[in-house]
Amino acid sequence: MSTAVSPLAPPDVPEMPVIAGVRLATAAAGIRYKGRTDVLLALLDKGTTVAGVFTKSKCPSAPVEWCRAKLKGGAARALVVNSGNANAFTGKTGKASTALTAQIAAKAVGCSTSDVFLASTGVIGEPLDATKFDGVLAQLAETATPGLWMDAAKAIMTTDTFPKVATATVKLGKAKVTINGMAKGAGMIMPDMATMLSFIFTDAPLSAGVLQSLLKAGVEDTFNALTIDGDTSTSDTLLAFATGAAAANGAPKISRASDPRLKAFTKAFQQILADLSEQVARDGEGARKLVEVVVEGATTKPSARKIAMSIANSPLVKTAIAGEDANWGRVVMAVGKAGEPANRDKLSISFNGIRVAKSGARDPSYNEKEVSEAMKAPKIQIKVALGLGKAKDRVLTCDLTKEYVAINGDYRS
């Protein structure tokens, strides 16, 4: 884990309120890191529903496979997360490790293993010794208390430089409900669902089906519109839990995703996902610039997304941003290689609102000094106008610095 906090870290960390039906505890089990917490246990009251979206990697981790199988039950009583070891590419040993972890957790909590959800992050290919959880989880189950959100967010970090949390309070019916979220992720990120790990908790009384609908829709323009390095992790896991405790205060039970009473909640839920995904972009390994890529005038939104991702994942574009160089030639390259409809002679490109290229050539009013000054900002927006249609999209990324190479060159050694 990096010691210097990213210069892009949010200046303010929200006060994370208690969510009825959720208790948290963390411990140092010595999974990989010495002298820091690396295990999180979240205890969930009976009646808690669960939903999840996972990596689309064809080589998923053992915990991802475990969660996918257990998700069908729609109920959860415990979440166990460890950092330092992803329990991925570990064969039969990995499956045995997830089963043993779930057994230890179920015994500690007093529930079925089918109500235990697991997530692991860290080194790929190293066996995870689940016996390290023995005793630790029982102790955590006894000491778990509401409100330890920052401790929980810190326990799931790997190369992250700051814990990522977000919260919102909103009305459901006439009752107040709360949504809390946490995430971790700084590298190996181009999700097809979520970042490496993210967990959302609410006291709203939502069915598992409603929660699943909210998640699936919510990640599309948040976590799925995020890339650090173009690499989809084996371990991507986003789980949402709804304890239903707010029903005691008059919150209506929601069993249909189309229920009009969900409108404000849905907006807040999506905002939590957007906040967390931006924090991941802000903590990209070695990042010094937050980069927003906007593509407009495309033939379709999927086409705009593909072009935006082509730009955001280009090492040449990302290193130009790191060097504070408005190198529109690299942007043109990334547009052209995306394989989507584009017309060179209709293309316009802007950096932080300053147009540098118009109609397929350098803008006549281009001013090098003005653009160079704009490129010093901590947030850079690259806007590409294709001039072909009305569709648009945006993705978030960061620059690519020497520190990214240093972090990943040293990760296992």
What are the CA-CA distances from residue 4 to residues 31, 51, 170, 353, 398 (Å)?
Answer: 22, 34, 35, 31, 17
127-172 pLDDT, tens digit each: 999 999 999 999 999 999 999 999 999 999 988 999 999 999 999 9
Instruction: Give the model's confidence band at 2: pLDDT under 50 very low, under 70 low, under 90 confident, else very high.
Output: very low
Residues annotated as catalytic are 195
Residue ranges matching CATH 3.10.20.340 in the chain: 290-409
Choice between 372 and 122, residue whose per-residue pLDDT is larger:
372
What are the CA-CA distances from residue 412 to residues 6, 33, 185, 296 (Å)?
Answer: 21, 12, 17, 41
Q: State the binding site for substrate.
A: 158, 184, 195, 285, 408, 413
CB atoms within 10 A of CB 232: 19
Closest CA to 228 of 156, 164, 290: 290
316-373 pLDDT, tens digit each: 999 999 999 999 999 999 999 999 999 999 999 999 999 999 999 999 999 999 999 9
Q: State the binding site.
A: 158, 184, 195, 285, 408, 413
Q: How is domain 290-409 classified at the CATH fold level?
A: Ubiquitin-like (UB roll) (3.10.20)
Residue 413 has what pLDDT? 45
Choice between 256 and 189, residue whose per-residue pLDDT is larger:
256
Instruction: Give the model's confidence band at 20: pLDDT under 50 very low, under 70 low, under 90 confident, else very high.
Output: very high
- Superfamily for the 22-282 domain: L-amino peptidase D-ALA esterase/amidase (3.60.70.12)
Judge whether residue 1 has pLDDT over 50.
Answer: no
Residue ranges matching CATH 3.60.70.12 in the chain: 22-282
